[in-house]
Amino acid sequence: MKRAALGLLSLVVLLQGCSRQEYIVVTNRTGADLAIEYEIELPMNGFPIFNEVPRVYDLAANDAFRWDKTRPIVDLDTMRSRVVFILPPGKGLMIGGLSNDTYTSHDQYFINGRHFNLKRLSVRRGRTTTVIKPELFDQYFTKQGNLVIYRIS
């Protein structure tokens, strides 16, 4: 009995180590702040890909995220489904992610009830605003390793 329990525990630990993560991120490599606003659907069932609580990280010189250097975010909007804030230069923003799935396009089938819940993302840089809707998402975001990234420089 002990041997079976030990074997089962070993299997559980081994399978937990196999979790694959992909992150949906925006990086600011400009010399100025960016005004970011995005709106998401809050699905009634399943799991959303995009978060209503994004996280900001410092960036290394090669655009690598410094996962140990998180920065606080001040959401300038009170709606749960909309996030409005300022992204400083040299920072990366994680707005969503996938667990144990691989991103290929916004309209793909996602496992485990995942749902592409982004309604709109806008980035204002100076007087120019870029608006990204789901059908345009793959024109701006590209896949690089475990990141689906929109680089703004």
Helix or strand or coil: residue 130?
Answer: strand
Position 44 scores a pLDDT of: 79
Mean pLDDT for all residues in the chain: 87
Quote the longest CA-to-CA distance of the chain: 69
pLDDT in tens, 61-101: 877 899 998 888 888 888 889 999 999 999 999 999 999 99
Stronger pLDDT, 142 or 16, i.e. the higher one:
142
The sign of the dihedral angle between the CA atoms of 84, 54, 33, 130 is: negative
Name the most confidently modeled range: 2-6, 34-38, 42-46, 70-74. Answer: 34-38
pLDDT exceeds cutoff 60 at 15: no
- Where residue 18 falls among pLDDT bands split at 50, 70, 90? low
Around 38, how many Cα atoms within 13 Å sit in the side-chain half-sphere?
27
Query: What DSSP letter does each residue of 14-82 carry, written as one string?
Result: HHHTT--EEEEEEEE-SSS-EEEEEEE---SSSEESEEEEEEEEEE-TTS-EEEEEEE----S---TTE
Evaluate whether 126 touches 81 at the Cβ level (below 8 Å): no
- Where residue 30 falls among pLDDT bands split at 50, 70, 90? very high
Copy the structure tokens of residue 49. 């890909």
Stronger pLDDT, 132 or 70, i.e. the higher one:
132
pLDDT exceeds cutoff 80 at 8: no
Q: Give Cα 68 to chain centroid, integer Å.
A: 16
Evaluate whether 91 touches 71 at the Cβ level (below 8 Å): yes
Position 45 scores a pLDDT of: 83
Task: Give the residue-averaged pLDDT of 46-58.
Answer: 92
Sequence ranges of the domains in the chain: 20-152
pLDDT exceeds cutoff 50 at 14: no
For 15, 23, 27, 141, 143, the CA distances from 60, given in Å and listed in that order, are 31, 17, 11, 20, 18
